[in-house]
Chain A
Amino acid sequence: MIRLNNVVARYTTVRGSINAVDGVTLEIPDGCILGVAGESGCGKSTLMKLIYGDVTSPMSLASGSIEYGFADGKGRAITSDNIRDVWFNRISYIPQSSMNSLNPVVKIGKQFVDFPGSDPDKKRVLAQVREYIGKLGLPAETLDAYPHQLSGGMRQRVMIAMATFFSPDLILADEPTTALDVVVQKDILLLLMDLQEQMGNTILLVSHDMGVHYQVTTRMLIMYAAKAVEYGDSESVFQAPLHPYTRMLISSLPTIGDDRARDGIPGRPPSLWQDLHGCRFADRCPLATARCRAEEPMLVEHKPGHWAACHYAGELADRAEAA
C-alpha cells in the first residue's frame, strides 16, 4: 500500500513559485497497475518524480509525505528520504524518451551494471541478465551491441528489462510507449502487463492516451491543473465517470466503427501562476454553477472505491444508474 498524504510539489523559479502538484491524497493498493491521465501540464509527470523521490531544484516537496509500505534489503522502511538508496532495486523508472536514454557510446551490457543498486559481482549479474532478456524477446547478443544498433522497440525492451531485472516492488513508467509505432506499442504494453502479473508488484503508468489506460490499467487517477479530480477502478471510471472532465476526456476520443460526433474540450487549463480558488475546471465545465467557482470540491468517495472531486458527482452517479 503506497499512501500519499496531501503532497504538494512546488517549482520555485526566478518568476516566483507554482504548485505543479497541489495537495494530492491517495492510497495505492499493492499489485495494481495505476494509470495516471490528464492533459499535458496537469502535473502527472511531476507526481511521478515526487513518488520516485527524484526531487531536485527547482522542484521541491513543499508539504505532505509519502509512505511506501515496503522495506529495503536490510528491513528498513522506505520513506521519501531514503528512497534514493533503493533506486533500481526496490523501485525503478522507465523514462519517456527511451529512444535516447541509453549512453550512445557504451555497450548495453555495461549499462546494466554501472549503478550501485546492482550486485557488485558484475560477471554473474551479466550472465543472469543475458538469460533474463531472452524472456523479453531480446537476443542474447543485445548486451554486446551499442544503442544505435537497436530499433526503437528493442531499446524500449532493454529499458523495461533494466527496470524489472531486480523485480522491484514499484515501477514508474512515464509515457513508455509515446515515441513508438502503434504495432510495437501493443507488444510493449502486453509485455508490461505480463511482467506485472508474474511479479505481482505495482506499476504506475503515465500516458496521455486514454486508449492505453483502458487496455492496461486496473485503477485510474485523472489529474487536472495540479489536482486529482477522479480516482477509482478502471472499469467503473471508464463505464461511469463521475467527474465531468473525465467524461469529456473519454468522449472526445474518436473510435473506429463509432460514428458519434466528437468534439474537443474547448478552452485551456487555467494558468497555475494565478491564485486559483473554487473548482479549477469551472470555466470549461458545462455543469458549472456559482458554488463551483466559489468552493473547491474535495476528492470524495461517491461510490465504493470510486472518488471524484466534483460537487455534483453524486447526482451524475445516480443519473448514470437510472439511465
Chain B
Amino acid sequence: MAVILKTTGLNKVYRLGSFTRSREIRALNDINIHVESDRPVIVSVVGESGSGKTTLAKTLLRLVEPSSGTATIYDNVVAGKGVTKLGRDFLGAVQPIFQNPFEAFSRYRPVDAYLHETATRVAGLDKAQANDAVAEALAAVGLDAVDVRGKYTNQFSGGELQRVSIARALIPKPNLIIADEPVSMIDASRRMIIINLFRKLKEEAGRSFLYITHDLATAYYISDFVAVMSKGTLVEFGPAKEVMSNPQHSYTRLLLDSIPTTRTRWRPRAAKAA
C-alpha cells in the first residue's frame, strides 16, 4: 500500500497589519490527512471560499510556505523538514491544473510551447521523444496535436484549453495531479466532459488526482475519498460515498443540505393554481 498523500500538523498563519497590531488568519489549522492505497485514487477536498482548500493545494504545490508541519506525496517530502530540492524530481512527481485556463497560459506564447517545455525540461526527453509524448498526452485528453500547434489562448474555448492544461500535466507521468477548481470556469453543461476525463485518466493512465472544489456533486461523482474543510480545519475525511450519504460532522450536513439538487424540493410546491 503506497502512501499517496500524508500531512501531519500542517499549519499556515497569515499575519496581517504592521508590527504594532497584527491580526492572524489561520488559513490551515493542524491538517492531518493520510491517504494510502495501492491503486490510483481521486481525493476531493471540498469546502466553501475561505475554507483553506486552495491554501492546502498551494502548499502541496510548494507555491506557499507552511508555518509548520510536514507533507509528503509518495516518497517526496513537499513541506516541512527534509524538503526535497525543488528540482526535476519534484516536478516529475507533482503537477498542477489551474482554475482559469485562460490565465494558465501566457497570451504572448503559443499554447503547445508549454507542453514541449514540460516534455524536454521535466520529463527529460529529447526533441523527437518529446513530440511523441506531447501527441500522446493530447490524444489522452481527446485532442489532436495539429489542432493545438502554434495556436494562442484566444483560439480555444474554456473546455478545450483546460484539456490542453491537463495534457501538459500528464506528460511527466506524475504521481499526483493537484487540480484547483479545474471546472469552475467551464460551462455547467460541459463540465462533465472534464470530470469524466479525470476518471478515465485514473483508471486507464493510472494517475492519482487531488480535486479541489466547492461543487460537492462533482466530488461525489468521481472521488474515492473526500476531505471536508471549514475555516481552515479538516472537519471530516473518509470514503466519498460514505461521507456523502451519512455525514458525521454537522458542517458537512449543512453543506449537503444547502446544495440545490433536482431531487427533493426545499419547500413543497403548493397545489399549482394555473
Contacts and interface: CB of A to CB of B under 8 A. Distances in A.
Contacts, number: 110
Contact of A264 (B49, B192, B272): B192
Interface string A195-235: 00000000000001111101110100000000000000101
B211 to A, nearest CB: 13
A24 interface: no
Most buried by A among B189, B194, B266, B269: B189
A262 B244 contact: no
B259 A256 contact: yes
Most buried by A among B193, B195, B262, B265: B262
Nearest to A238: B262
A211 B157 CA distance: 25
A296 interface: no
B203 interface: no
Interface stretch (B57-65, B87-95, B168-176, B214-222): B214-222
Interface string A73-113: 00000000000000000000000000000000000000000
B254 interface: yes
A256 B193 CA distance: 18
Contacts of B49: 181
Main secondary structure of the interface of B (DSSP, over half): helix
Given A190-B267, A211-B261, A183 B254 contact: yes
Contact of B260 (A212, A235, A248): A212
Nearest to B186: A264
B263 interface: yes
A263 B196 contact: yes
Interface size class of B (residues with CB under 8 A): 35 or more
A264 B190 contact: yes
Contact of A252 (B192, B255, B266): B192
B86 interface: no
A253 B197 CA distance: 15
Given A186-B260, A190-B267, A257-B263, A265 B274 contact: no
B262 A235 contact: no
Contact of A183 (B191, B258, B272): B258
A321 interface: no
A185 interface: yes
Contact of A211 (B189, B218, B260): B260
Contacts of A262: 192, 196, 221
Nearest to B191: A264
A305 B274 contact: yes
A254 B221 contact: yes
B125 interface: no
Contacts of A254: 192, 195, 217-218, 220-221
Given A185-B260, A255-B261, 4 more contacts: A39-B188, A190-B266, A252-B191, A262-B196
Interface of A: 29, 32, 39-40, 181-183, 185-186, 189-190, 193, 208-212, 214-216, 218, 233, 235, 238, 248-250, 252-258, 262-266, 268, 305
